[in-house]
Amino acid sequence: MMRPKKTKEPKVKLTKDSWRKAARFLRYLKPYAGTYFIGWIFLVLSTSAGLVFPYLMGKLLGSSTASSNPEQAVRLLDLSNVNQIALALFALFFFQSVFSFVRVVLFNNVTENALRDMRNDAFENLVYMPMDFFNRQKVGELTSRVASDIAQIQEVLRTTIAEFFRQIIIVFGGIAFLFFISWKLSLIMLATVPVMAIIAVFFGRYIRKLSKEAQDYIATSNSVLEEALTGIANVKAFTNEWFLLSKYKKSTQQTRDLNVRSGIWRGLFVSFIIFCLFGAIVFIVWKGLLMTQGPHPELASEGFYQFVLFTIMMGASIGSLPDLYASVQKAVGATENLLDLLQEEGEQLPKPNAIGHQLSGALRFEQLVFSYPQRPDVTVLKGIDFQLEPNQTLALVGQSGSGKSTIANLILQFYKPTAGTIYFGDQDAAALDLHDLRKQMAIVPQEVLLFSGSILENIRFGRPEASDTEVIDAAKKANAWEFISSFPAELQTEVGDRGIQLSGGQKQRIAIARAILKNPAILILDEATSALDTTSERLVQEALEELMRGRTSIVIAHRLSTIRQADQILVLNDGVVVERGTHQDLMAKNGQYATYVAQQNMQE
């Protein structure tokens, strides 16, 4: 039988290690321990006040019952006693409401403060993770941990834990009161109501499980329907109406069978509630009433009412405990995942005792070998050597997968070499502060990512402390000010999600303005003109030339016409430098580079 893909969450299985990891979350509560402790005091006070309610309510109801003594039968009500009990109940409600208000506010404040700190730590840890971490992780899962997992923890900290312990206090406090009222009736109650309540909980869970499975089958049948109608032309062209109809009928039959089974269990559940659970309550009430009868009753009327009210309160508390505990388990599982993320080792920016170093622009690779950590068996770079003097331009040429982008990533220190050494000037890159290095480098990628916000914010991303005048000057040098000034809001123009409201050429020039504003010693260009129209390409190329002036540049070349003036060109093939020299030198060799140039000239 075809089974649909399950959409339900996997069952949370926790170990001692899971609880131990979750306990690390306490460090986020530690700064607010005093407030949290006061909140727990008010939780105990409000719960204790709740336990007094059945006691007073029983006395109120018992006071209106005729005495079994014929001499006192004429006095049906003791009005002064009733008034006093009613006033006591209103006073109880007042204090309980105050205690509950203070508890909710304190727990909420502590929860929000702790989760704010956790969110900040999680994001800080994420942005400082090495690039290999993001190659191993899915962005959707990471954002889910920061958003969904924290939201689940939020609900548990704010209400569930408090409610869980509140119900436990009610259960044990209720049992103590019940034994105080009548130990005999208490034993009868404990042998029936809690057992019935727990059975009812598991009954309900099984029915919910069947309902979820039915929803899965419904989703399958709906997907068959949607696919058939969306691709109706193909269905008719292949005369496969019967095939899809049989799939749909099979799915709807499975849905029907499961819902029928679910209906049987729902009927059994209703029958169980009516006969067993209500029967148990009637049995206890019956036994309690018998104990109030006779010339020497074992239980007073008010005691009987108190017993019934305490039993109802306890039954509700016992019934809610499994679901509350399940919520706590889910939160512990979410905390475990989140704290694992927080324990991941980042890039440690800035590095303690690192050497501060002003880059001159000189760069050297010595016998550099590299394999990506997730693919250690595949060597991407194989003994790369080159030396670049300050203000020179190095162009990297080669087919896709030859290692060009990997060299750029290594210059930016996104990864560490497997073997060999990278030098900035005469300093080994491993000895330099990573944050200090990257502050003196900039990259203009082929696919520019603009952040949601204004043009001003995106350009200023290159140097957040820059003034508006400096931003405008950078925009002018990047040939971007003309189109920026044409917008009504100018620099305050919103670029939209990932810069969707701007054209490719406009986004490229904003990226160039961002790099100009940063004023880096070393510039990396993943040539950005290949996907642009002629006019945009000319403007972007002019801006790139302005950006490259007076600084060391590494150009990953797609259009070879843009690197004719490069001081050095490396032709890469399968991670090896197969040719090197200037444009004129390589053309004279009539080798692989000359072949690339001829092929591009033919295509143009």
Q: Which residues are catalytic?
A: 527
CA distance 327 to 156: 7
The tokens describing 284, both together, are 């206890």
Q: Peptide bond preceding 297: is omega within 30 degrees of 0, i.e. cis?
A: no
Handedness of CA 507, 512, 515, 521 (dihedral sign): positive
* 482 membership: H or E segment, kind and range: helix 481-486
Contact by Cβ (8 Å): 502, 536:
no
Q: How far is CA 325 from the centre of its chain?
A: 22
Contact by Cβ (8 Å): 318, 199:
no
Q: Reduced to 3 states, what is the DSSP secondary structure of residue 462?
A: coil
Q: Quickly count: other Cβ atoms within 10 Å of residue 386's Cβ.
A: 17
| Spatial CB neighbours of 387, under 8 Å, sequence gap ≥ 6 | 362, 363, 364, 365
CA distance 165 to 156: 12
Contact by Cβ (8 Å): 275, 192:
no
Question: Over the Cα atoms of the chain, what is R_g?
Answer: 37
CA distance 148 to 145: 6
Contact by Cβ (8 Å): 483, 495:
no
